[in-house]
Amino acid sequence: MSTIHPNTREAATPIYDWEGYDFDTRQVHAGEYPDLNNGLRVPPIALSAGYVFDDFDDQVERFSAVPSRDGAFHGDSEATPGPIYSRQGNPTNSVAEERLASLEGGSNTVLVSSGQAAITSALLTLAQGGDHIVSTASIYGGTRILFGRSIKRFGIDVDYVWDSEDDDEWARAIRPNTKAIYAESIPNPRNDITDLRRIAEVAARYHLPLVVDNTVGSPALIRPFEHGANIVVHSTTKFLTGHGAVVGGAIVDGGNFDWEAAVAAGRAYPLLTSSPRPGVGSMVDRFGPAAYARATREAVVNDIGPALSPFSGFLLHQGLETLSVRMERHVNSSLEIASWLEQQPEVEQVDYAGLPTSPLYELAVRDYGLATNGLGARTSSVFGVKVRGGIDGARAFVNGLRVFSRMTGIGDTRSMVIHPGTSTHATFAPEINDRLGITPGLLRLSVGLESPRDLIADLRVGLDHVAVL
Ligand SMILES: Cc1ncc(COP(=O)(O)O)c(C=O)c1O
């Protein structure tokens, strides 16, 4: 048996470079590395808070952040010093980080402990007290709460654009101290998909990075970097890990934003373009296209500390192995169920952009579909259905369901239902909810992997309860 320690730089060398392989191959293999001790085929769970230094000079070298253009936790064995502490990164998590970067087409990924931690960390790398962010209006309720409470308490203001087609509205919202544009590719809960190309054009015009939450879409359905986004965030709790067991988050760097040009145009990104101390170059100087990920890992996540447990990282890299297979089932069942719901007399409206009757169908055909087999107009499995009878109708429907679980959460193998108006959106002013289309009769469905026939039968029972009101 080899005596080489599994955490040596040699052990961290990838087996192959998976660039150029198909999505389905990369989701199984990207990020894996050989286990030189035991030849383990499945990357193991490295449950260790810290890492042994070979000797005194090795510790000095690891802490001195030897210049490298690779922002990954481990990578180029020549240039990247070994690991220090699991608050910065962990070999199990790095498998998932490299795999997700490959699937999204980004330069690097940083894993954190939840989707909310990912959004917060992603934005804190860009903005500080006194700065400003512009977001599209249709976003997950928890993110709207985060923006209006904690991000605001950090001194960062967020304004919303309601009509992303309206250049004047963008012009009115963007200020000299704006640091990012934020959007969701497939907004939770109403599936009102976003024209990312359109927003990326606005962002480029104002020299702003576009940050996209791709939780509901996943890279199997849309890869925001291909449409001009610069940073992607995920709640890995959902489709990426896939089985509803653990909470996690990810920040993916597109490596495609010109930070120096933004600074020249009057925007300031001190964590990226300023020298942290005399004699040390800026993140952009030292890490090039990996600068943003590196700054997020070292200057935000390592300081604040929302580290992901390697156990959760393991479940994530395993979950990613089957992402496109699960998404195919999720989206095909959703299309079948959404089409069926549209025909039911107790249903007033179905918000699923993949339906030919949706006003967003053309955009769904153009930009959203399964990467792996060319199935177009598939806009995930999280969508809204408005039943007759307002809140009484919603209550009767939800109480009638047996296969759908009444719970918060999306992107699980299990189907789930929740009433946004009294949960995720309960704290917003009625006029905001009206504008967002969060009506008393609206339910959010997350279609799981059960048989679509059983799911339709369950929904029919729920609607029978609405029919007798
Ligand atoms: C689109 C979206 N972003 C972010 C989050 C927050 O993720 P987490 O629950 O992992 O913190 C959620 C959670 O539902 C979400 O749906």
pLDDT band of 334, cuts 50, 70, 90: very high
pLDDT greater than 50 at residue 79: no
**Alpha-carbon distance 22 to 444, whole Å?**
33
- Domains (range + CATH), the chain: 88-320 (3.40.640.10), 323-467 (3.90.1150.10)
pLDDT greater than 60 at residue 363: yes
pLDDT band of 36, cuts 50, 70, 90: confident
Average pLDDT over residues 341-356: 98
pLDDT greater than 70 at residue 129: yes
Report the 10 Å Cβ neighbour count for 163.
Answer: 11
Residue 160 three-state SS: strand
Return the residue whose CA atom lies nearest to atom 9 of ligand 1: 115
- Go through the chain and tell me how many residues it has: 469
Average pLDDT over residues 38-58: 91
Tell me the pLDDT tens digit for each residue of 232-248.
999 999 999 999 999 99
How far is the centre of ligand 1, averaged over its atoms, from the C-alpha of 467 (Å)?
33
Three-state secondary structure of 371-427: CCCCCECCCCCEEEEEECCHHHHHHHHHHHCCCCEECCCCCCCCCEEECHHHCCCCC
pLDDT greater than 80 at residue 71: no
Tell me the pLDDT tens digit for each residue of 402-425.
999 999 999 999 999 999 999 999
How far is the centre of ligand 1, averaged over its atoms, from the C-alpha of 218 (Å)?
13
Tell me the pLDDT tens digit for each residue of 162-215.
999 999 999 999 999 999 999 999 999 999 999 999 999 999 999 999 999 999
**Alpha-carbon distance 455 to 450, whole Å?**
7
pLDDT value at position 80? 60
**Alpha-carbon distance 193 to 77, whole Å?**
41
Average pLDDT over residues 431-449: 97
pLDDT value at position 70? 40
Tell me the pLDDT tens digit for each residue of 81-108.
678 899 989 989 999 999 999 999 999 9
Element (H, E) at 259: helix 259-264
pLDDT greater than 50 at residue 7: no
The tally of CA atoms less than 13 A away on the side-chain side of residue 386 is 13
> Ligand 1 test: best mutation among 215, 216, 246, 418, most atoms within 8 Å of CB?
215
How far is the centre of ligand 1, averaged over its atoms, from the C-alpha of 36 (Å)?
37
- Of all residues in the chain, the percent with pLDDT exceeding 70 is 94
Could you give phi then psi for residue 133, rounded to 5 degrees? -130, 145
Is-contact 180 153, C-beta < 8 A? no
Give the residues surrounding ligand 1 with Cβ less than 6 Å away: 114-116, 140, 142-143, 184, 188, 213, 215-216, 235, 237, 247, 249, 410
End-to-end Cα, the chain, rounded Å:
71
Return the residue whose CA atom lies nearest to atom 6 of ligand 1: 115
pLDDT greater than 90 at residue 295: yes
pLDDT value at position 410? 98
Measured from the Cα of 382, ligand 1's closest atom is 16
Return the residue whose CA atom lies nearest to atom 10 of ligand 1: 115
198: CB partners within 8 A, 6+ apart: 164, 165
- Of all residues in the chain, the percent with pLDDT exceeding 90 is 84
How far is the centre of ligand 1, averaged over its atoms, from the C-alpha of 439 (Å)?
21
pLDDT greater than 60 at residue 72: no
pLDDT band of 68, cuts 50, 70, 90: very low
pLDDT value at position 13? 66
Least confident of 4-8, 117-121, 435-439: 4-8
Measured from the Cα of 248, ligand 1's closest atom is 10
How far is the centre of ligand 1, averaged over its atoms, from the C-alpha of 344 (Å)?
30
Q: How far is CA 18 from the centre of its chain?
A: 22
pLDDT value at position 228? 98
Measured from the Cα of 116, ligand 1's closest atom is 11
